[in-house]
Amino acid sequence: MEFLDLPQLLSAAGTVRLPGSKSISNRVLLLAALADGETEVRDLLASDDTERMLDALQALGIGVTHLGGENWKIVGCGGAFPVKQAELFLGNAGTAFRPLTAALALAGGDYVLKGVARMHERPIGDLVDGLRQLGADVSYLGNEGYPPLHLKPATIRPDGVVSVRGDVSSQFLTGLLMALPLTGQTVAVDVVGELISKPYIEITLATMARFGVVVERDGWQRFTVRAGSRYVSPGTVYVEGDASSASYFLALGAIGGGPVRVEGVGRDSIQGDVKFAEALAQMGAIIETGPNWMTACAPQGGLIAVDLDCNHIPDAAMTLATAALFAKGTTTLRNIASWRVKETDRIAAMATELRKIGAVVEEGADFIKITPSTARPAAIDTYDDHRMAMCFSLAAFATPLRINDPKCVAKTFPDYFERFATVTRAAPVIAIDGPSASGKGSVAARVAAALGFAYLDSGALYRLTALAAQRAGIAWDDEAGVAAIAAGLDVVFTGEDIRLAGVLVGDAIRTEDISAGASKVAALPAVREALLFRQRVFNTLPGLVGDGRDMGSVIFPRAVLKVFLTATAEARAERRYKQLIEKGFSANLPDLLADLQQRDARDSQRSVAPLRQEADARLLETTQLTIEQAVKQVLDWYSEASS
C-alpha cells in the first residue's frame, strides 16, 4: 500500500487558491447537460467525482469539450439525452450517482447505474421511492434499497406530490429537484422528517436558478417546480472554490499560527461549509473574511473545545474532529448521523484512527466526543475516504504520522498534499551521512546537544536488527526473516542507554562482528523498508539531527541541512582503533582498515540507499579537523540554511 510519512509540524502560514467546489461542479455539469444551449464551465474541480460525471455525460451523448486548464464546454441536450440506452459506472461519486439516477429515471431511456463496492453499500431507497411516486420504473439489481440500479422508460404521472425523506441524505432531495423540470409538469416535493444538511439544498436551488429554474418553496417542508420550467444555459459559469477543502487550510492556520489565507470562497459563497469558519472561531481561532477569501490565525493560548451541532456543516465538521486534538477540553460534535453513510462510516473511522494517535474518543449513533491526550505516532488508515486523509494531515502538529493510501484525496483535491507542504513548516532535520568512523555520531550528538534537538543514530537500528536476528537464530541473509525482526524490534532509547527486549545492549551492538552484520542486513531492501517509519517518527519538535548513510537521501529528503561527513580511510581506521582501545577492547589497525574498506564498499555498492554524497549535501572532509571544528562548521551551515 502507498503511504505518506508526515513529520511533526512547527507552523503554518501562506495562501492557497482552492480547487473548485465538488458540489457545485457536479450540479453545474448536470444542469449544463440538461439545458438548452452551450455552457462554458470555468474553474471546474479536476477530481475523480467530476471525472465520473463527465464520463457519464459523454456516454449519454452530451457534447463535452476540454478547453484546457479547468475549463470545459458542455453542449446541452434540452432535456433529452441523445443516448437512450447505456450502462454507467460512477465509482464512489455520490454527487454523480444520486442526481443522475433522478434525471435518468425521468429521461425515458433504459439505463444501468453502477459504482464501486462502497457505492453499493450507500442507501438510495428514499430517492427511488420518490421517483416511483412519479411513475418512474426503477429496480434494484443487487440489494433492495441500494445501487446498482436499472432504470427503464415509464410514463410520468402529471401534477403529483412526491414525498421524500430528508433525514438520511439531502442528496435525494437535490437529485429529485434537479430532475423535476424533465417531467414538464408541476410537481411538489414534501420533505418527510427533519431535513439535514440544508445548506446543500441552498446550493441546489441557487444552481438551478442560475440555469433559469426557480423553485417555489415553503420553508424547508415543500418545494414546487412549475410546469414549463426549462433549464437554459447562462453562457459562462464560474465554479466557486470548494468550501469543504478550505476547512483544512483554515484549521492549519488556527493550529499552526497562521495567517493561512484561502482564496476562492468567502462571505459571498453559496456553500454552507463556509460556516466552518464560524465553528473554528468558536474554538478561539481568529478569522477574517472577505467576499471571496478567508484567513485564519491561531489564538494566543491555543484553541478551546466546543460542543457543536454540526448538521449544517456535515463534511467540514470532520475537520473539527482532528482540530479537537489541539483544543483544551472535550470537543463534542453532534447531529452527524449522516457521517455513517458517506464514503465510509466516518464516525467509526474517525474514532478508530483518533484513538491510534492517543486521543480519548467516545462515539454514539450520531455524535463523537474527542479529548486530546499525549499523542503518539501511528499509521492512519483512510478507508478510501478523501476527507479522512486530509483531516489527519492536521494531526501532524501533534506527532509524526503515516497516512496510508494518501492518493484517495484525488476524489476532491488531487494535489492536496503538495499544497499542504507549501503552507506548513516541519520540525527541522539536520542529516549527516558518511562512511564508518568519519565522526558522524560524535558530531551529530554534539550538534543536537547545542541546538536542543533530538539525535537519531540510525546505524544503531541496523546494528540492533543484526543482533536481534543473531539472537533469534535467523541468518543475516534471510531477507524476510530479518525484515520481520526489524519490524518488531523491541527497543527503547533513553539518553545514552539502548535496551533490546529490556536488556542493555549499548556495547553488544558495537562489536566488529555486529558491525559486519549490520552492514549485511542493511543491504536488504525489506529491512530498510521495515525501519523507515521507525526512523521518521524521530522527526519531532524542536528538531532532529540524524546520522547514517541515507538520512538526507531517503529518510529525511526535506532536511534543512544535509552534510556528507568523511575522512580518509586511514584516518578513520585510526580513529576507530583509538576508540576501541579506549573502551578496553583489543584491536588491530590493519584488520580494522581492511574491515572498514570492505564495509565502505558494501555500503556504497548496494542497490538500495547506497552510501554516497548527494547533490544537495555539503561535503565536510574531517581528516584535518578536530571534532569541535567539525561541529562548528555544521552549526554555521545550519544557521545559514535556516535563516
Ligand X SMILES: Nc1ncnc2c1ncn2[C@@H]1O[C@H](COP(=O)(O)OP(=O)(O)O)[C@@H](O)[C@H]1O
Ligand Y SMILES: Nc1ccn([C@@H]2O[C@H](COP(=O)(O)OP(=O)(O)O)[C@@H](O)[C@H]2O)c(=O)n1
Is residue 346 a contact point for ligand Y (CB under 6 A)? no
Identify the helix (H) or strand (E) that includes residue 105: helix 94-105
Is residue 524 a contact point for ligand Y (CB under 6 A)? no
**Contact pattern for ligand Y over residues 554 through 593, marking x by CB under 6 A:** ----------------------------------------
Pick out residues in 215-274 that bind ligand X (CB under 6 A).
none
Which of 442, 515, 535, 553: binder of ligand X (CB under 6 A)? 442
Paired residues of 497 in beta bridges: 494
| Choices 102-110, 112-120, 206-214, 459-467 (CB under 6 A): range interacting with ligand Y | 459-467
Which of 346, 575, 599, 606: binder of ligand X (CB under 6 A)? 575
The verdict on whether residue 169 carries a ligand-binding annotation is yes
Distance CA 102, CA 129 (A): 11
Compare residues 372 and 552 and give the one whose CB is closer to ligand Y.
552
The verdict on whether residue 197 carries a ligand-binding annotation is yes
Q: Is 579 helix (H, G, I), strand (E, B) or coil?
A: helix
Mode of pairing for the β-strands spanning 236-238 and 3-6: unpaired
Is residue 517 a contact point for ligand Y (CB under 6 A)? no
Distance CA 19, CA 223 (A): 31
| Choices 18-26, 396-404, 454-462, 487-495 (CB under 6 A): range interacting with ligand Y | 454-462
- Asked whether the CA dihedral 520, 521, 522, 524 is positive or negative, the reply is positive
Catalytic residue flag (residue 315): yes
Is residue 626 a contact point for ligand X (CB under 6 A)? yes
Distance CA 205, CA 293 (A): 23
Least distance in Å: CB of 608 to ligand X?
Answer: 20
Amino acid at 340: R
The verdict on whether residue 212 carries a ligand-binding annotation is no
Burial class of residue 504 in the structure, from the number of CB atoms within 10 Å of its CB (0-12 exposed, 13-18 middle, 19+ buried) = exposed
| Choices 213-221, 371-379, 397-405, 518-526 (CB under 6 A): range interacting with ligand Y | 518-526
Task: Give the distance, in angstroms, between the CA of residue 426 and the centroid of all CA atoms in the same chain.
Answer: 16
Contacts of 400 (CB under 8 A, 6+ apart): 5, 6, 7, 8, 377, 536, 537, 538, 539, 540
Distance CA 192, CA 195 (A): 8
C-beta nearest to ligand X: residue: 439
Is residue 438 a contact point for ligand X (CB under 6 A)? yes
Which of 197, 332, 436, 566: binder of ligand X (CB under 6 A)? 436
Is residue 459 a contact point for ligand Y (CB under 6 A)? yes
The verdict on whether residue 387 carries a ligand-binding annotation is yes
Give the total of residues touching ligand X (CB under 6 A): 17
| Choices 350-358, 406-414, 440-448, 481-489 (CB under 6 A): range interacting with ligand X | 440-448
Identify the helix (H) or strand (E) that includes residue 192: strand 187-192
Give first-to-last CA distance, the chain, whole Å.
37
Distance CA 327, CA 333 (A): 13
Task: Give the distance, in angstroms, between the CA of residue 198 and the centroid of all CA atoms in the same chain.
Answer: 27
Cβ pair 138, 128 in contact under 8 A: yes
Distance CA 621, CA 357 (A): 42
CA angle 585, 588, 591 (to 5 degrees): 125
Distance CA 576, CA 608 (A): 26
Cβ pair 155, 373 in contact under 8 A: no
Which of 458, 539, 540, 633: binder of ligand Y (CB under 6 A)? 458
Is residue 48 a contact point for ligand Y (CB under 6 A)? no
Q: Which does 519 bind (CB under 5 to 8 A by kind): ligand Y, ligand X, none?
A: ligand Y
The one catalytic residue among 273, 315, 433, 457: 315
| Choices 103-111, 131-139, 433-441, 488-496 (CB under 6 A): range interacting with ligand X | 433-441
Active-site amino acid positions: 315
- The residues of the shown chain that bind ligand Y, judged by CB under 6 A, are 436-437, 441, 458-459, 462-463, 515, 518-519, 522, 548-550, 599, 603
- The residues of the shown chain that bind ligand X, judged by CB under 6 A, are 434, 436-442, 547, 575-576, 579, 622, 625-627, 630
Binding site per annotation, positions: 22-23, 27, 94, 122, 169-171, 197, 315, 342, 346, 387, 411, 434-442
Binding site per annotation, positions for 3-phosphoshikimate: 22-23, 27, 169-171, 197, 315, 342
